[in-house]
Structure 1
């Protein structure tokens, strides 16, 4: 569908978007506010919070990511990687509890995996102004066949794919080997277009829609990603490296710059936990 000679997806991504790891308290506040707009105000999956921050018990042991619009300087999306709690052998990742009765133990036994090498992707959300199609403000969005366009009019779902690739790179940097996620049934097929193998590891559950527990190998994603997608991954990897705390890129003025002007309606992509 895409021709490497005609399209450089990495250059296009850099023109419009930037991925920022949210390590500082100010950046995490942006994550929680976006999530509140999505899960509490728009989709009503969670109750409205007086402080307009959607936060739960898993955030303290999570790695957070933000996506920023280069054109508007606005934060437009977020996601997180939930890690097992260090020193707590009884803590389970959310999917391990939610999907306990449907996991196929012949495929995966999470109890046998090194706990510091696994994590779960969760709370992927995108603000309404950057939704995939009009009329979807009050329903979860996903990656569909339409997002890839046609031979004559190619398209690419930069925002959800950018956030997923961002979690992959952040996971790699933190020594995580296996990522778990609750997905729509059709998502595995669309990830296959990117060269990403999403393996279903159990039966479907009802969780804000029909969801399947799935897993991805971080090493395999990076190794097998299609050549035309690799420039996007490389661009995102550069973003994350450039915005790590030790680089000193603290995004000065962030507390005021992004807190006053936000989209009023938002959507979520595959809300997992």
Structure 2
């Protein structure tokens, strides 16, 4: 993976191309499901096509959703969700616990059993086709490649994917979540670690639309040790998501000025 100039202002770069918003209203959440249908059902064929063109499942009612939008076109560019433990049934398994039931480190999960309200799973990350044009990206909803960072002579930065992960940490911190789990391609796990998004494998790889490894992330540790190149995007995304929550609260209260 190519090194990037230390002077690269990734916050400004992200702001130039994208904005991040929490999907709090029914309309925004349906936009998320529509984007997922485009990627998971139409592009990749991983899920069956739905007559309503909305890709949704039982976990969405217990999830926090985020959307990324292109500043240039105004179109949605990506989405991600955090699947939460169920308030009325906290021991109900998260998706990765079912997929990797036979390969997980059960001792580790048993240690977390008493605090399941503070864990979540990063899930349904999806990037629309226009932003997955490079070779090797077409068959994945969102990944990092060695080429994602360009070369020393022509560096580039994967703003959209990194922005979605920064949104995950912003929302996790806001909702006091300590630990995140994810099921990822082995190469993405390695690249995230290289980028400074520390994740630890917690079980053997399992077959799920290709080989995937279950991994765990300590939210506070990642945020506290963010690489400066990620900190710029994190700060921008944090401000945008906070503004989204304020706007939603003001709308619900019927007083646009109350939260200014």
TM-score, normalised with respect to structure 2: 0.90
- Post-superposition shift, 1:48? 1.0
- Cα distance in structure 1, aligned partners of 2:173 and 2:251: 21
1:175-254 map, 5 Å: 175-244=176-245, 245-248=248-251
Structure 2 Cα separation of the partners of residues 141 and 81 of structure 1: 16
Instruction: Tell me, yes or no, if structure 1 residue 64 matches structure 2 residue 65.
Output: yes
Q: 1:177 and 1:53 mapped to 2: Cα distance?
A: 30
Counterpart contact for 1:35–1:125, Cα < 8 Å: yes
TM-score, normalized by length of structure 1? 0.86
- Alpha-carbon contact 2:142-2:161 (below 8 Å) kept: no
Q: Secondary structure at the match of 2:195?
A: coil
Q: CA offsets, 1:127-183, max 9 Å, x none?
A: 111215158545544101111122111111111111111011101100111000001
1:165 paired residue number: 166
Kindly state the Cα deviation for residue 192 of structure 1 after the two structures are TM-superposed. 2.2
2:11 is equivalent to residue 3 of structure 1 = no
SS at match of 2:105: coil
Q: 1:192 to 1:132 in 2, by over 3 A?
A: farther
Question: Contact between 1:108 and 1:201, CA under 8 Å: does it hold in 2?
Answer: no
**Please, which moves more after superposition, 211-220 or 151-160?**
151-160
Q: Unaligned regions of 5+ residues in structure 1, if any?
A: 250-273
1:44 CA drift (Å): 1.0
Task: Specify the SS of the correspondent of 1:55.
Answer: coil
Q: Is the 8 A contact 2:197 2:222 kept in 1?
A: yes
- The answer to whether the Cα contact below 8 Å between 2:127 and 2:142 also exists between their aligned partners in 1 is no
Q: CA deviation at 1:205?
A: 0.4
The superposition leaves residues 243-268 of structure 1 with CA deviations (integer Å, 9 ceiling, x where unpaired) of: 1112559xxxxxxxxxxxxxxxxxxx
- Across the aligned residues of Structure 1 and Structure 2, the Cα RMSD in angstroms comes to 1.8
Distance 1:100-1:110 versus aligned 2 partners, 3 A rule? farther
Q: Please report how far the alpha carbon of residue 194 of structure 1 lies from its aligned counterpart in structure 2 after TM superposition.
A: 2.4
Aligned residue-pair number:
248
Q: Which runs of 5+ in 2 are unaligned?
A: 253-260
